[in-house]
A and B are shown apart, each in its own frame.
Chain A
Amino acid sequence: MKERLSVAFVAERQIPPAPPPAKTGGVVGWLRENLFSGIFNTVATLLSFAFVAYVLASVVPWLFLDSVWNASSLQECRKIDDGACLAVINERFLQFVFGFYPDGLRWRPVLAFALMFIAIWPALFASAPRKLLIFTGLYPLLAYWLIWGGSFWGPVGVLAGPVLGWACVRWLPGLMRGWLDERLVFLAAVGVGLLATVLWWLFGVTVFDDTLSAVLAVDLDSVESARLGGFLLSTIIGVSGIVGSLPVGIVLALGRQSNLLIIKACCVGFIEFIRGVPLITLLFVAWLLLAYFLPPGTEFDLILRVVIMVTAFASAYMAEVIRGGLAALPVGQYEAADSLGLDYWKSMQLIILPQALKVSIPGIVNTFIGLFKDTTLVIVIGLLDPVGLLQPIRADQNWNGIVWELYGFIALFFFIFCFAMSRYSMHLERNLDVGHR
């Protein structure tokens, strides 16, 4: 039975939730909110659409509908259709990829490139099996051997140098202990280790190589540096620069913060010197002037020289980026590390660097991308990266006058590489949750 009520209406049940008005929800709502909210935005949206449509209307037919893939010269292309003459890329593709690398041996750089992904996998993704790191460590030598060829024992000999040095640092202190002042022991061991490494490289490697080759020769046809070019060259310089500059940059950044005067002065001097000189000058030095500082008759591979210069250059910038990260940490972090009784290396390794590097990720990747694009500068020293290859290709009578197709192709290559790097950096930032929320 119902009671009489003093109010006119009472809801007896909850009104079911209605969908939001069509104007504010769904596609229409999204459009209204994001594209057409207000007069100004509406106009801007329409203009942008018009612009995109205009660009697509000319690019799509040019690139896809009217393009020519098979022709042997620009004139032939123009006769077939008036779109992009992609035949030039079709014909010169391998040249762009390998430069002048000998025909029959091209599987070697390809293999090296494929192995590179296995090598960087554990470095990039925490989910990869840790054992692979050993492969990562050995990869540079393997890649060098695959690309340049020659005797397998050469690179192995080179690797043996640092191993020897490390062995000195590891075991010499124990041997020297009773004889030397405790504080000097470590320093002396490092000195001996460095000396041993350098001496081994100067004199030991050849003997080592010759001896082992006599026992068991493992040879690949050797390929001189002048034959490397195109994307292969950019990738070699870019990847070695990237891989080398991070550790060197970290060391420099730490050195710059060090309390040891000489170390600090060296690091500051190096960083400021390198940053004060344009890369192009460094490349020039590597190309022409370095020969005068080396003993006459030394064969010092040009690409190796360039890689060293590019790495040095990027390291200086890297050091400053990482210094920014170090400076961003509150002093309390350093004090906390100290109060736990950690020594310098442990505190850096466990507490300071993980945080500082995390903060610096955008800057680090920025430097990587810059470095990768800077590899195109090697044209001034007579190495033909993709941009350098473009000029002699365009000077071929068959392809006289072709511009957009080639530049577009190279731009696409660089875009893919750089975009991948920036995506990876975002992935990393998200995973490590950098924001101090």
Chain B
Amino acid sequence: MKLKTTLVAATAAVAVSAAAQGATLDDVKAKGFIQCGVSTGLAGFAFTDSNGNWDGFDVTFCRATAAAVLGDANAIKFTPTTGKTRFTALASGEIDVLYRNTTWTLSRDVDLKFDFLGVNYYDGQGFMIRKDMGVASATDLNDATVCIQTGTTTELNLADFFRANNMNYDPVPIETNAEAQQKYLANACDVYTTDASGLAATRATFENPGDHIVLPEIISKEPLGPLVRHGDNAWGDIVRWVMNALIIAEEKGITAANVDSMASASTKDPEVKRLLGVEGNYGEMLGLAPDWAIHAIKTGGNYGEIFEKYIGENTAIGLSRGLNQLWTKGGILYAPPFR
């Protein structure tokens, strides 16, 4: 607890001085790469491929940002962060943007002095247990030992949930997702709780995923999205609109494969023309090249393509789009108009 207070105090102190620096875009252009904070390894979201390159859902958003800003999806330096170190890393300027399954909350936005730029995954907290425990609902979990990642919102939700239901639990605090897996599989805890997407990802990594179930209850809202430091709005705008561009691209049916032909004026849709820099000077407004969105989309495709490739139903993780479907198809993914 004490460590946490110290960390938060340090974060705040650091945030004040870092905010004064501003002008991240100039820094990034001068350095020639973006510093992106990701998780220390979460299946589907951030991992290394066989060539030793970072890859994954969150990682691709980082790469798209780098592609939009610098024209090169590899002009990027990844820093793996844990639940506890991520905010300090961002505040101190070790990273320029954090894409790490991070929930947008009031205190993080206001008190820790960050700007959340939207949501790239609507999530909620769930519980995973061993099937042979014979529990069907989270309300039957009285006196369970629960593995929980420190420094996360899930830690607080858990306390709220058990208190509201008059139940007791034994927390087993852990640092990273990998450690949680080990503890859970070694029966050091009955329950592992975190974002439902994380549970699905973790479960997919088990030798026998069938022996474990995710309980039906979702006990919180976890809108996960990118964040930057307070006080550098120009940079925040860029990260926000790269993400929006990928969502709009899905709405408009622009994919990694057809973006070039779409841009070469075969399209009549004015919004697509604006997005791809054929019309207007939207890139200039952001301080970027006119074809920034083309670079971003070429990195890993539009939002839907990225989703399907890394965490969608055809992957081992097998998440359905659910809330993360476009608003036109029954989800709540809704990007502001591009004009």
Contacts of A291 in B (CB 8 A): 92-94
Q: Which of B143-192 touch A at CB < 8 Å?
A: 175-178, 182
B94 touches A394 (CB 8 A): no
A287 touches B40 (CB 8 A): no
A339, CB-defined interface residue at 8 Å? no
B94 touches A397 (CB 8 A): no
A226 touches B40 (CB 8 A): no
Using A224-B77, A395-B42 as known contacts, say yes or no to A401 and B207 having CB atoms under 8 A apart.
yes
Contacts of A392 in B (CB 8 A): 40-41, 46-48, 54, 80
B49 touches A226 (CB 8 A): no
Q: Which of A280-321 touch B at CB < 8 Å?
A: 284, 287-289, 291-292, 296
- In whole angstroms, what is the CA distance A209 to B91 when docked? 34
B323, CB-defined interface residue at 8 Å? no
Using A226-B78, A292-B17 as known contacts, say yes or no to A394 and B205 having CB atoms under 8 A apart.
yes
Contacts of A284 in B (CB 8 A): 85, 88
A401 touches B206 (CB 8 A): yes
A206, CB-defined interface residue at 8 Å? no
Using A92-B50, A287-B94 as known contacts, say yes or no to A395 and B206 having CB atoms under 8 A apart.
no
For A91-119 the 0/1 string (1 means CB < 8 A from B) is: 11011001110000000000000000000
Contacts of B234 in A (CB 8 A): none
A-B contact count (CB 8 A): 110
- In whole angstroms, what is the CA distance A224 to B31 when docked? 11
Using A287-B94, A388-B40 as known contacts, say yes or no to A401 and B205 having CB atoms under 8 A apart.
yes
B79, CB-defined interface residue at 8 Å? yes
Q: Which of A380-428 touch B at CB < 8 Å?
A: 380-382, 384, 388-398, 400-401, 403
A379, CB-defined interface residue at 8 Å? yes
Measured CB to CB, the nearest residue on chain B to A389 is: B48
B233 to chain A, nearest CB (A): 21
Using A289-B10, A388-B40, A391-B40 as known contacts, say yes or no to A398 and B50 having CB atoms under 8 A apart.
yes
Measured CB to CB, the nearest residue on chain B to A381 is: B85
- In whole angstroms, what is the CA distance A94 to B48 when docked? 13
B44, CB-defined interface residue at 8 Å? yes
Contacts of B54 in A (CB 8 A): 392
B225, CB-defined interface residue at 8 Å? no
Q: Which of B72-100 touch A at CB < 8 Å?
A: 77-82, 85, 88-89, 92-94
Contacts of A226 in B (CB 8 A): 77-79
Q: On chain B, which size bracket covers the interface? A: 35 or more
Using A226-B77, A395-B47 as known contacts, say yes or no to A382 and B52 having CB atoms under 8 A apart.
no
A395 touches B77 (CB 8 A): no
A24 to chain B, nearest CB (A): 49
Contacts of A394 in B (CB 8 A): 41, 43, 47, 178, 205
- In whole angstroms, what is the CA distance A94 to B50 when docked? 10
- In whole angstroms, what is the CA distance A155 to B152 when docked? 43
Contacts of A381 in B (CB 8 A): 85
- In whole angstroms, what is the CA distance A398 to B205 when docked? 9
Q: On chain A, which size bracket covers the interface? A: 35 or more
Q: Which of A216-238 touch B at CB < 8 Å?
A: 224, 226
A391 touches B178 (CB 8 A): yes
B14 touches A288 (CB 8 A): yes
Contacts of B45 in A (CB 8 A): 395
- In whole angstroms, what is the CA distance A72 to B51 when docked? 12
Using A395-B205, A400-B316 as known contacts, say yes or no to A380 and B47 having CB atoms under 8 A apart.
no
A88 to chain B, nearest CB (A): 10
- In whole angstroms, what is the CA distance A382 to B89 when docked? 9
B28, CB-defined interface residue at 8 Å? no
- In whole angstroms, what is the CA distance A291 to B85 when docked? 16
A349 to chain B, nearest CB (A): 44
B80 touches A382 (CB 8 A): yes
- In whole angstroms, what is the CA distance A91 to B47 when docked? 15
B139, CB-defined interface residue at 8 Å? no
A286 to chain B, nearest CB (A): 11
A91 touches B17 (CB 8 A): no
- In whole angstroms, what is the CA distance A391 to B80 when docked? 10
Q: Which of A54-98 touch B at CB < 8 Å?
A: 72, 91-92, 94-95, 98
Measured CB to CB, the nearest residue on chain A to B45 is: A395
CB within 8 A of A400: which of B48, B94, B205? Answer: B205
For A190-225 the 0/1 string (1 means CB < 8 A from B) is: 000000000000000000000000000000000010
- In whole angstroms, what is the CA distance A288 to B90 when docked? 10
A397 touches B79 (CB 8 A): no
- In whole angstroms, what is the CA distance A292 to B52 when docked? 33
B274 to chain A, nearest CB (A): 36
Residue contacts A-B, CB under 8 angstroms, 16 given: A72-B50, A100-B53, A224-B77, A226-B79, A287-B89, A287-B94, A288-B88, A288-B89, A291-B94, A382-B85, A384-B80, A388-B80, A389-B48, A392-B48, A396-B49, A398-B50
Give the top 9 A-B pairs by smallest Cβ distance, nearest first.
Answer: A391-B41, A395-B47, A400-B205, A392-B41, A395-B41, A382-B79, A95-B52, A392-B48, A288-B92
Q: Beyond the given A289-B92, A400-B204, please list 15 additional residue pairs across the A-B interface where CB-CB is below 8 A.
A: A95-B52, A287-B92, A379-B40, A381-B85, A382-B79, A382-B89, A391-B40, A391-B178, A393-B41, A395-B42, A397-B44, A397-B316, A400-B316, A401-B205, A401-B206
